[in-house]
Each structure stands twice: as structure tokens, then as C-alpha cells.
Structure 1
Amino acid sequence: MKFTPGPTAVPPAVREAMAAEQPNPDLEPEFAERYEALCADLATVYDTDHDVVVPGGEGILGLEAAIASLVEPGDRVLCISNGLYGDGFADFVESYDGEAELVSAAYDESLDLEAIERALEDAADAGEPFALATMVHCETPTGTLNDLGPVLDLLEDHDVLSVVDAVSSLGGTPVPTDRINVCLGASQKCFSAPPGLTTAAISDRAWERMEERDPSSLYTNFLPWRDVSDGFPYTHLSANVAALETAVEMILDEGLESVYRRHEEAAERCRERGAELGLEVYPDQERSSPTVTAFRLPGEVVEIQQRVAEEEDVVLATGLGDLENDILRFGHMGYNAEVEKVDRAMDALEAVLE
């Protein structure tokens, strides 16, 4: 049993859709019709009127493409972070010759609103405003769900474009997409489809900025996806599109409110079982995501993870970076967001801890 926060377990219907014979994405109109239907269904999941596009490439493609599509050399970008992926946006900015200003909080703390406001005001006073700001909704490595509302308020007050990594929250908990200029998702998290596709909801204002600049890339560039009526920028991943189409249809058939409630119930059960084992949630109960739970087990996580896999046939995830041996993560997202599956994973952990 795989109980990781992505790539997640894939349901049989999605595997079957991917294994079926596929239309030629370059030549047959059936594929374009499937793609258009997928984008429309994703807009419902995003709960947005923004355009939705689905390029071929694992979720990290979306993070890089957002920067490549929006950042000119010399542009100032405010990178707001309290986690590994928030920090990583600054690396993308610098790789495209932008100037990243990182406003970083500790990984177990909330986004630093005072520091964000101060950075925005200082930039305005100096006549060097930020072109855009980046942040992460759910920091998968720590299970932290960030409250984006207050940050988006500040960005709107200062007329700064927003880019949000919602890869690990989209489809598992509500995302304020219509307040975000580029909202990024991916197939392999709450959708429970195989890795291989990026999703992006893009506002008119973001499209306008993309059209104003001279893109330095085709593959890491969203603009060619705005209008695919005359064909796709490159040969699309037809089997992955079929799989994601089925996965999204399953979410819509269940109903978004039911899906969100199922994730909340699974998360609550996971943390109840953890408390019974004397485990502490990282960062804390209030800021933990409905899609992933991280438990503190300082200094012994890698050994526990290996024993759970070998002895109980359950795959869990450790933390990343400096937290690799301090955090054990449970991915109750998508197909695995069920109380019975949580119990199976927690039973395995309990057996090893005993």
C-alpha cells in the first residue's frame, strides 16, 4: 500500500483509461475534444472563470513555466515562503535573470505578514515595485496549509501579480483561484492520476503580461497554450490526458463538497491515531493540510519508514531537506483520502513502533 503525499495511489478506472488505445494528439480531432473537456472540468474543480491549460510535464514544470512566462531579466519578484517549495521559487526567478527577494519564515511558522507588507511598502517607496509575488498553498514537505487570504489582500493593495503553487491542495481543499493570477496544480496529487501533467488557471492580467514579453523558451512557456485551436505546441501526452480526464470526472461525480469533507475526515482520523501513539503533528493541528499529515519523530524517521515498508508493506514518506530524518508524512489525498485506508497505514506504523 502506498500512502505517500504524491505521487498518490491511482484508482483502477484511471489506470484503465490510461491503458486504452488513444487518439493521435497531433492528427485526430477526438484528442482536442478530450483536452477541451478536461480543461472545462478542471475549471470547475478550480472554481474559476480563468482559462485553464494542461501542458505536458510533471508539476514542477508549472512552477518553472510560471516564472519563465512572466519574468523578464531584471524584474523584481517577491518570493514568500515558509517551506522548501516556497524557497525554491527564488531559484527559478534567479535562473531567468530576475531579482528574487525572499521573505522567509521558519518552516513551522505562518507566512510573515508584517515582513511581506514591509517589503511591498519599501519597494513602492523606492520606486522599484515587484512585478509579481510567489507563494505555496500547501507545503507538502511539512504538511502546512497556508492562509493565502491576508497575503492576497496585500498583493492586491499593491497591484502585484500572484503566482501560487496549489499542487498539493487542489482537488482536496478549496483554493481561492479567482484571486490568484496563476494557480498551479498537477496530476499526481489529489487528482490521483499518474505524474506527467501540469495544470494552470491563468487570469487575463497574467496573459497580458505574458504577451508583452519576449519568451525565452517554448517548453517552459504557458503562452502557446492559450489558444490551441490550430494545434498543440508539441505532441501532447495522450494517455496521461485520458487518465486525468477520468480522475477529474470521478471528483465531479462525487461532488466537490463531498470530496473536501472526505479529506477532512481522513486527516482528522490520521491525527487522532497519531495522538494515541503519542505523536506530535508538525507544524500544529490548526495549520496542517487536509491532504497530508506530518508527524515529528526526531532522529529516527528513516529507519521507521524502512521498517514500515519492509515489515508491513506500507510506503510512507519522510521529510525533505533538513527535516528528512525528523518528519514522517502520511498522504491522505485523492484516492487515499478514506478513513479505512488511514487506519491501515496507521496500524502499520503502530506495529513497528511497538
Structure 2
Amino acid sequence: MRFTPGPTTVPPAVREAMAAEQPNPDLEPEFAERYDDVCAKLAEIYDTSHDVVVPGGEGILGLEAAIASLVAPGDRVLCVSNGLYGDGFADFVNSSDGEAELVSAPYDEGYDLETIATALEDADDAGDPFTLATLVHCETPTGTLNEMGPVLDLLEEHDVLSVVDAVSSLGGTPVPTDRIDVCLGASQKCFSAPPGLTTAAISDRAWAAMEERDPSSLYTNFLPWRDVSGGFPYTHLDANVAALDAALDRLLEESLDSVFERHEDAAERCRERGAELGLELYPDHERSSPTVTAFHLPGEATRVQRRVADEADIVLATGLGEMEDDILRFGHMGYNAEVEKVDRAMDAVEAVLE
């Protein structure tokens, strides 16, 4: 059993949809109709009135394309971070010749609102305001769910565009999409479809900002996806779109309220079992995501991961970067957000720890 925070296990119905013969995405109108249906279903899951687009490319494409589409050389970007992906936004900004200012908090803490407010005020006072800010809703490497509202309030007050990585939260917990200018998702997390597609909900003012830029790339550029009535920017991933379509049907048939409750129940069970085993939650309970749980096992995470895989045929994830051997992660998201599957994974960990 794969119990990782993405790519998640793909349900049989989704695999079957992907294996079916597909219409030609360049020539047959049936594919364009399916693409439009997928975007409409995603708008329901995003709970947004914004345009939704689905480029072909794994979720990192969305993060890089958002920056490449919105950042012109010299633009100042506020990168708000308390994790690996928050830090990574600054690299994308620099590669687009923008000027990134990283406002960091410790990985096991929430955003530092006072520092964010000061950075915004200082930029305005200096006459060199930020044009854009980047945020991460769920930091997958640590299982941290960040509260978006207070930071979005500050950005709205200073008229700064927002880009939010919601890749590992979208479809598993509510996301305030209509307050976000570019809200990014991906097929392989809570949707439980195969990796290969980026999803993005884009506001009118973000489109307007993109129109003013001169992007140097076709692939890392959202603008060509705004109107695909005349054809797609490049040959789309027909089987991946079919799989995502089937995956979205599963979520909508269940109802989002039920989906979110299922994720909360699975997360709570995982943390209860962890506490019984004496495992330390990372970060604390208040900041932990309903979609992924991280436990702090300094110097032991990789050993436990390997033994669980060898002895129980269950795949877990460790941390990333410097925390690779210190964090053990459980991905109760999408198809795996079930208490029974949590118990199977935790039983295997218990056997190893004993």
C-alpha cells in the first residue's frame, strides 16, 4: 500500500478511465468538451468564480509558470515561507530576474504576520512596492497547514497580487480561492489521479497583469491557456485529462463536505495512534494539515520507513532536505483518507517500533 503525501494511490475507476482509448486532443472536439467539463468540475472543488485552467505538466510547472507569467525583470516579490516550498518560490522569482524578498518563519511555526506587515509597509514607504506575494497553504514536507486569511488581508490592504501553492490541500480541506489571484493545484495529491497535470484558478486582475508582461516561455506561461477555443497551446495529455475527469467525479459524487470530513477523521486517527506510540507530532496539532501528518523521529525516520516497506509492503515518506532522516510522513489524502487505511499503516509502524 502506498501511503505517501503524493503521488497518492489511484482508484481503479480512475486507472480504467486512463487506460481507455482517448480522442485526439489536437483534432477531435470530444477532447475539448472533456477539458471544459474538467475545468467546470475543478471550479466546484476550488469553490471559485475565477477561471480554471489545466496545463499539461506536473504540479511544479504551476509554481514556476505562475512566477514566469507574472514577474517581469526587476519586479519585487514577497516570498512568505515556513517551509521548503515557500523557500523555493524565491528561486523561481530570481530565475525570472525578479527581486525576491524572503520572509521566513521556523518550519514548525506559523507565518510571522508582524514581519510580513513591516516588509509591506517599508516597501510602500520606500516607493518600491511589491507587485506579488507567494504563499504555501500546506507545506507537504512538514505537514504544516498555514492560515491564509490574515496574510491575504495584508496583501489586499497593500494591493499586492497573491500566488498560493495549494497543491497538497486542494480537494482535502477548504481553500479561500476567491481571495487568491493564482491558486495552484495538481492532479496527484488529494484528487488521487496520476501525476502530470497542473491546475490553476486565476483571477481577472492576475490575467490583466499577465497581459502586461512579455513572457519568454510558452510552456511556463499561463496566458495561452486563457482561451483555448481555437486549440491548445501544445498537444495535451489526453489520458491524464481522462483520469482527472474520473477522479473529480468521485469527489463530487461524494460531496465536498463529506470529503473534508473524511480527511479530518483520517488525520485525527493518525495522530491518536501516533500519540499512543509516543511519537512527537511535527508541527503541533493546531498547525497540522488534514491531508498529511508528520512525526518527528530524529535520525530514525529512514530506518523506520525502510522496515515498514520491507516487512509490511507499505510505502511511507520521510522528510525532505535537511530533515530527510528526522521526519516520517503519512499521506492520508485523497483515496487514502480512510481510517481503516490509517490503521493499517500505523499497525505496521507499531510493529517496527516494538
Q: Same fold (TM over 0.5)?
A: yes
Q: Runs of at least 4 residues of structure 1 off by over 2 A?
A: none
- The answer to whether residue 133 in structure 2 is matched with residue 136 in structure 1 is no
Give the Cα separation in 2 of the matches to 1:225 and 1:215: 14
Query: Residue type matched to 1:50 in 2?
Result: H
Report the 3-state secondary structure (helix = DSSP H, G, I; strand = E; otherwise coil) of the residue aligned with 1:23: coil
Report the 3-state secondary structure (helix = DSSP H, G, I; strand = E; otherwise coil) of the residue aligned with 2:314: coil
Give the Cα separation in 2 of the matches to 1:283 and 1:220: 33
Equivalent residue, structure 2, for 1:62:
62
Query: Residue type matched to 1:265 in 2?
Result: D
Equivalent residue, structure 2, for 1:83:
83
- Where does 1:103-182 land on structure 2 (aligned, <5 Å)? 103-182=103-182
Give the Cα separation in 1 of the matches to 2:126 and 2:138: 32
Give the Cα separation in 2 of the matches to 1:211 and 1:232: 18
Mark the runs of 5 or more structure 2 residues left unpaired by the alignment. Answer: none
Count matched residues.
354
Give the Cα separation in 2 of the matches to 1:11 and 1:41: 18
Query: Residue type matched to 1:134 in 2?
Result: T
Give the Cα separation in 1 of the matches to 2:3 and 2:300: 19
Give the Cα separation in 2 of the matches to 1:142 and 1:128: 34
Give the Cα separation in 1 of the matches to 2:301 and 2:177: 35
Cα drift, residue 215 of structure 1 = 1.1
Q: Deviations over 1:140-182 (max 9, x none)?
A: 0000000010000000000000000000000000000000000
- The answer to whether residue 239 in structure 2 is matched with residue 239 in structure 1 is yes
Give the Cα separation in 2 of the matches to 1:237 and 1:46: 22
Report the 3-state secondary structure (helix = DSSP H, G, I; strand = E; otherwise coil) of the residue aligned with 2:289: coil
Equivalent residue, structure 2, for 1:228:
228
Normalised TM-score (structure 1): 1.00
RMSD (CA atoms): 0.3
Equivalent residue, structure 2, for 1:92:
92
- The answer to whether residue 173 in structure 2 is matched with residue 209 in structure 1 is no
Mark the runs of 5 or more structure 1 residues left unpaired by the alignment. Answer: none
Report the 3-state secondary structure (helix = DSSP H, G, I; strand = E; otherwise coil) of the residue aligned with 1:201: strand
Report the 3-state secondary structure (helix = DSSP H, G, I; strand = E; otherwise coil) of the residue aligned with 1:88: helix
Equivalent residue, structure 1, for 2:10:
10
Give the Cα separation in 1 of the matches to 2:312 and 2:350: 10
Equivalent residue, structure 2, for 1:304:
304
Normalised TM-score (structure 2): 1.00
Q: Deviations over 1:249-284 (max 9, x none)?
A: 100000000000000000000000000000111011
Give the Cα separation in 1 of the matches to 2:285 and 2:233: 44
Query: Residue type matched to 1:156 in 2?
Result: E
- Where does 1:309-348 land on structure 2 (aligned, <5 Å)? 309-348=309-348
Q: Deviations over 1:88-127 (max 9, x none)?
A: 0000000000000000001011101000000000000000
Cα drift, residue 10 of structure 1 = 0.3
Give the Cα separation in 2 of the matches to 1:347 and 1:150: 39
Identity %: 84
Give the Cα separation in 1 of the matches to 2:14 and 2:252: 14
- Where does 1:30-45 land on structure 2 (aligned, <5 Å)? 30-45=30-45
Report the 3-state secondary structure (helix = DSSP H, G, I; strand = E; otherwise coil) of the residue aligned with 1:286: helix
Q: Deviations over 1:279-298 (max 9, x none)?
A: 11101101000000000111
Give the Cα separation in 2 of the matches to 1:3 and 1:214: 42
Equivalent residue, structure 1, for 2:257:
257
Query: Residue type matched to 1:243 in 2?
Result: A
Report the 3-state secondary structure (helix = DSSP H, G, I; strand = E; otherwise coil) of the residue aligned with 1:209: helix
Report the 3-state secondary structure (helix = DSSP H, G, I; strand = E; otherwise coil) of the residue aligned with 1:129: coil
Report the 3-state secondary structure (helix = DSSP H, G, I; strand = E; otherwise coil) of the residue aligned with 2:274: helix
Give the Cα separation in 2 of the matches to 1:216 and 1:150: 34
